[in-house]
Amino acid sequence: MSIELRKQLFEQLDQIVLVDPHSHINPLSAASTTLADILGYHYYTELSHSAGMPKDQIEEPGLDPKEKVRRLVENFGPIENTIQYSWFIEFAQKMFGFADERLTTDNWEALYDSAAERMAKDDWEETVLRESKLEGIFLTNDFDDTLEGFDTGRYIPCLRTDDLVFHLAKLTVVERLENATGISISGREALESALDKLFEHFVSKGAKACAISLPPDFAPHYVSDNRADIAIKNILGKGDDAAPNDRHAASNFVFWSLAERCRQHKLPFDLMIGVNRGVYETGVYQGQDLYDSRVSLIQYRQLFNAFRDVTFPVSVLASVTNQELVSYSWIFPNVVANGHWWYSNTPAYIESDLAARLEAIPQTKVIGYYTDMYKLEFGMPKFAMFKRILAKVLAERFVIDRGWSEDRALELGKTVLRGNVESIFGLGK
- Looking at residues 192 to 251 of the shown chain, list those that interact with its own copies (rule: CB under 8 A): none
Minimum distance from CB of 284 to its own copies (Å)?
9
* Residue pair 203/212 in contact by the 8 Å Cβ criterion: no
DSSP H or E stretch at residue 246: helix 244-265
Which residues in 313-372 contact its own copies (CB under 8 A)? 318-321, 323-324, 326-333, 343-344, 346-349, 352, 355-356, 358-365
Closer residue to its own copies, CB minimum distance, 82 or 193: 82
Which residues in 84-103 contact its own copies (CB under 8 A)? 84, 86, 101
Residue ranges of alpha helices (H) inside 14-82 are: 35-39, 42-50, 55-58, 65-74
Asked if 187 is part of the footprint of its own copies (rule: CB under 8 A), the reply reads no
Q: What is the crossing angle of helices 188-204 and 225-235, to 10°? A: 90
Which residues in 396-425 contact its own copies (CB under 8 A)? 397, 400-402, 408, 412
Asked if 3 is part of the footprint of its own copies (rule: CB under 8 A), the reply reads yes
For strand 312-316 and strand 335-338, is the pairing parallel, antiparallel, or unpaired?
parallel
CA distances from 359 to 39, 108, 394, 397 (A): 37, 44, 10, 9
Closer residue to its own copies, CB minimum distance, 105 or 184: 105
Which residues in 39-58 contact its own copies (CB under 8 A)? 46-47, 49-52
Count of residues of this chain found to bind its own copies when the rule CB under 8 A is applied? 77
Minimum distance from CB of 315 to its own copies (Å)?
15
* Span interacting with its own copies, options 157-165, 263-271, 304-312, 373-381, rule CB under 8 A: 304-312
Which amino acid is present at 28?
L
126 CB-near residues (< 8 Å, 6+ apart) = none
Closer residue to its own copies, CB minimum distance, 124 or 291: 291
Which residues in 145-164 contact its own copies (CB under 8 A)? none
Minimum distance from CB of 55 to its own copies (Å)?
9
What's the CA gap between 131 and 92, in Å, rounded? Answer: 13
Asked if 82 is part of the footprint of its own copies (rule: CB under 8 A), the reply reads yes
What's the CA gap between 190 and 196, in Å, rounded? Answer: 10
What's the CA gap between 100 and 314, in Å, rounded? Answer: 38
Which amino acid is present at 278?
G
